[in-house]
């Protein structure tokens, strides 16, 4: 017989009632099976049915997000590092580091020695001031400002690089010239890379390399051309004072745990020209005896700073008493600073010398290691 849903008998009604009772029993074990069968249909119809709300879906979604974040913090970094380390990820964003320039080829009017000297000085001048002005920004951590300045530096370096390639030079200066020209080209490429990089460290490294290059890297070429020493680029800080404080007496200062007890303390006042805030300033100095021998090094540093551009900090440098003879001079060997994301280390000492006491001349007065008042300072 064909089942007509519009003409169900009592048996069909009882069957529907049993199904309702079964559902009710699963939702409420306290309702007996027989009792559910006896509930009048009118009452069952009055019982409100369950409907999903926005919270039905929102709460599980929030829990899933929270669990995902927690999972990343606890183990996600390891999962990422198994496939790609942070440096590789940055490389994919920044692109590959710039490759070195080709060996220089010179093409253009042939220069006499006198013309070569004049033209070289002109080519260097074409970029010097632009680079000098940009160095403090390149030492900072403001990416927008860094990108702008790095692009400007790249264009300036390209001017010098192109000018040097556009002449034919005397044969006896080309060996030293080749090295200088390649460094101009490589620094230009590094500047263009920093102008697009998403990390300040690339600009910080560029600033360090520019200062190293400007610290008389072309001295031999200038000698070949009969030119005076060039003007170094200025690091983004000033040495405004160097003071000999004498031997530190821990007992007199009620400091029974000082590691500097009995050492000669020299206070070096450093003024920052770096935009933003520096958290630490550290340095290493070379010590030269009164007769000009490099006898060793000494270090000092201050952490926990909030040093703004234009502000100064006093860095105490502790010198071993065996090295602190009267008349000894100091040369700034290395200085390194840390900001919120920036980290800069600059080596300024051209010649480390022989720490065992060999015959090594002190750096020239115009060397960056004699920056500021270091040039005239002597231990008492």
Rounded CA-CA distance 136/129 in Å is: 13
State how far the Cα of 103 lies from the Cα of 88, in Å rounded to an integer.
29
Q: What is the mean pLDDT of the chain?
A: 81
Question: What's the pLDDT band for 93 if we cut at 50, 70, 90?
Answer: low
Share of the chain above pLDDT 90, in %: 60
CB 357 within 8 A of CB 295: yes
For residue 367, give both structure tokens. 């060397």
Give the mean pLDDT of 10-24. Answer: 41
Give the pLDDT score at 352: 38
Find, among 343, 340, 361, 341, the residue nearest to 351 by Cα. Answer: 361
pLDDT of residue 162: 98
In terms of C-beta density within 10 A (0-12 exposed, 13-18 middle, 19 or more buried), how is residue 286 classed?
buried
159 Ramachandran zone, left/alpha/beta (phi>0; psi -120 to 50): alpha
pLDDT tens digits for range 151-171: 999 999 999 999 999 999 999
- DSSP state letter for 84: -
Neighbours of 93 (CB within 10 A): 10
**pTM greater than 0.75 (yes/no):** no
Question: What is the distance between the alpha carbons of residues 272 and 275, in angstroms, rounded to a whole number?
Answer: 8
Whole-number Å distance between alpha carbons of 166 and 121: 14
Report the SS3 class of residue 218: coil
The whole-angstrom separation of Cα 135 and Cα 81 is 34
Q: Per residue in 95-154, pLDDT tens?
A: 678 899 999 999 999 999 999 999 999 999 999 999 999 999 999 999 999 999 999 999
Other beta carbons within 10 angstroms of residue 42's beta carbon come to 7
Alpha helices in 111-237 (DSSP H): 113-138, 143-165, 174-194, 200-214, 219-225
Confidence of residue 367 (pLDDT cuts 50, 70, 90): confident
């Amino acid at each position: 017989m064909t089942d007509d849903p519009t003409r169900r008998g009592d048996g069909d009604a009882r069957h529907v009632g049993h199904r309702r009772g079964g559902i009710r029993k699963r939702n409420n074990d306290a309702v007996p099976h027989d009792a559910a069968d006896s509930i009048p249909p009118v009452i069952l119809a009055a019982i409100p049915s369950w409907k999903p709300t926005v919270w039905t879906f929102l709460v599980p979604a929030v829990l899933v997000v929270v669990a995902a974040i927690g999972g990343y913090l606890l183990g996600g970094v390891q999962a990422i590092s198994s496939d790609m380390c942070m440096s590789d990820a940055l490389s994919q964003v920044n692109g590959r580091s710039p490759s070195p320039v080709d060996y220089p080829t010179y093409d253009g009017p042939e220069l006499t020695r006198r013309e070569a000297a004049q033209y070289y000085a002109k080519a260097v001048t074409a970029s010097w001031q632009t680079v000098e002005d940009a160095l403090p920004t390149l030492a900072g951590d403001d990416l927008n400002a860094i990108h702008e300045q790095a692009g400007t530096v790249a264009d300036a370096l390209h001017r010098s690089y192109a000018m040097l390639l556009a002449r034919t030079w005397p044969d006896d200066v080309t060996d030293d010239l080749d090295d200088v020209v390649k460094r101009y080209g490589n620094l230009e490429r590094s500047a263009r890379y920093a102008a697009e990089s998403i990390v300040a460290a690339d600009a910080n490294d560029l600033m360090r390399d520019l200062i190293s290059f400007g610290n008389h890297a072309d001295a031999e070429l200038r000698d070949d051309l009969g030119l005076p020493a060039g003007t170094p680029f200025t690091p983004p800080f000033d040495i405004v004072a160097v003071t000999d404080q004498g031997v530190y007496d821990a007992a007199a200062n009620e400091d029974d745990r000082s590691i500097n007890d009995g050492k000669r303390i020299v206070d070096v006042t450093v003024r920052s020209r770096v935009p933003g805030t520096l958290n630490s300033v550290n340095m290493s100095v070379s010590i030269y005896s009164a007769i000009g021998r490099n006898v060793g090094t000494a270090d000092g540093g201050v952490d926990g700073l909030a040093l703004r551009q234009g502000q100064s900090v006093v860095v105490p440098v502790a010198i071993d008493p065996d090295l602190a003879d009267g008349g000894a001079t100091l040369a700034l060997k290395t200085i390194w600073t840390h900001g919120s994301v920036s980290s800069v280390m600059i080596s300024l000492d051209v010649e480390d010398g022989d720490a065992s006491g060999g015959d090594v001349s002190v750096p020239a007065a115009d060397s960056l290691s004699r920056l500021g008042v270091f040039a005239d300072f002597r231990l008492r």
